[in-house]
Amino acid sequence: MLMLEKRPQPSKAWTLAAPLLAVVLTMICGGLLFAALGKAPVETIRTIFFDPLFSEFAWFYRPQLLIKGAPLALIAIGLSFGFRAGIWNIGAEGQYIVGAICGAAVGLAFYPTESFLIFPLMVIAGILGGVVWAMIPGILKVKFGTNEILVSLMLVYVAEQLLASMALGTLRNPEGMGFPGSRNLAKYDSASSWISENAGMHWGVVAAFIAVIFAYVILSRHQFGFNVRLAGQSPRAARFAGVNPKLLVLVCMGISGGLAGAAGLFEVAGPAGQISIDFNVGYGFTAIIVAFLGRLHPIGILLAAGLMALTYIGGEIAQSNLGLPGAAIQLMQGMLLFFLLMVDVLTNYRLRFGKGATV
């Protein structure tokens, strides 16, 4: 008989091995899926996971990985603080949108003045926008005990409506012939977040790497990182250790909101270029997967963001070159999270064969 026995401590080896095993299982089952669709499984897997890195056109795809991965990493790093402390901000997508709107509004207000001060001001506005949007569920939780999962999620839809109204009204390009959408910030030198478009470098990529380093230092070396971990593992112990749970909620919401807002600003001022009705493409939600895939660890998140970016870009290549349906790619991305959660059982439980063992 097969039995599960709870480990006294989560296994260190499995914590590291689980994501890798999940990726391997995804490749195998994804391959079976592709074979069932009548595509060569090995070639398809190779197209998705290796072509963006090593094919003839890798010079084009590698920078694209940075562009696609940076917002994911930036948002996921912010989320990881709250998730470790048991504070569930599901609405990063909304904070991302509001950050983009606030940052873009500042940039557009200065158009067409050129000054090196404009971009830093936009970054500050973007961060503040995200923080303010995250403070709504934060303060409601602290003051009235509302559920931050629901409130932050619902605020995503509010943010989407706000975005539509901005693209159609306040921020609409006056020279856009009546079509919705703002001016293109990427083409306005003082407001552009691009450093080098061909290299895929924009300030969001730089910010993502800086965030990883800061998060690593704070979580492993700083008292605040200790408090966060303690609050997540044992809220009672944290209270005895002098952690103020309300303050912790606000700080964690603030960090995740601020980073999501910054990601939105970097995106709107660079790769996306303009505020449009459907500016957001789900980075805030995908970042939740990235955070868990990366084990809420900064380095892990960086790798996970790279992996997710890889499946997006490789998936598009597979669609275009091999005629794979788009839904098959989404299915495979879903598999990745599914297998991770499945393999996670092994981190917390031991497999026992035979009978007699009491659980």
Q: How many CB atoms lie within 10 A of CB 81?
A: 28
The amino acid sitting at 169 is: G
CB of 318 to another protein, least distance (A): 9
Q: Does 157 bind another protein (CB under 8 A)?
A: no
Q: Which amino acid makes up residue 3?
A: M
Smallest gap, in angstroms, from Cβ of residue 152 to another protein? 21
CA–CA distance, 330 with 279 (Å, rounded to integer): 20
Q: Which helix (H) or strand (E) holds 171?
A: none
Q: For residues 9 and 198, which CB has a smaller minimum distance to another protein in the complex?
A: 198
Return the range that interacts with another protein (CB under 8 A); candidates 21-29, 135-143, 242-250, 316-324: 316-324
Q: Kindly identify the residues of this chain, within the stretch 21-80, that bind another protein according to CB under 8 A.
A: 57, 60-61, 64, 67-68
Q: How far is the CB of 353 from another protein (least distance, A)?
A: 45
Q: Does the protein bind another protein through residue 267 (CB under 8 A)?
A: yes
Among 8, 38, 145, 169, binds another protein (CB under 8 A): 169
Distance of CA 276 to the CA centre of its chain: 20
Q: In the window 74-133, what residues touch another protein (CB under 8 A)?
A: none
Quote the CA–CA distance of 172 and 183 in Å, as a whole number: 7
Name the residue nearer to another protein (CB basis): 29 or 168: 168
Cα–Cα distances (Å) from 99 to 181, 273, 297, 355, in that order, read 16, 14, 24, 57
Query: Which span sits near another protein by CB under 8 A: 9-17, 80-88, 110-118, 313-321?
Result: 313-321
From 327, 350, 331, select the one nearest 339 (Cα to Cα).
331
CA 224 to mean position of chain CA atoms: 22
Q: Is 321 in the site for another protein (CB under 8 A)?
A: yes
**Which part of the chain contacts another protein (CB under 8 A), choosing from 21-29, 242-250, 255-263, 321-329?**
321-329
Query: DSSP letter string over 199-246?
Result: TTEEHHHHHHHHHHHHHHHHHHHSHHHHHHHHHHH-HHHHHHTT--HH
- The contact set with another protein (CB under 8 A) reads 57, 60-61, 64, 67-68, 160, 164-165, 168-169, 172, 177-180, 184, 267, 271-274, 276-279, 281, 312-313, 316-317, 319-321, 323, 325-327
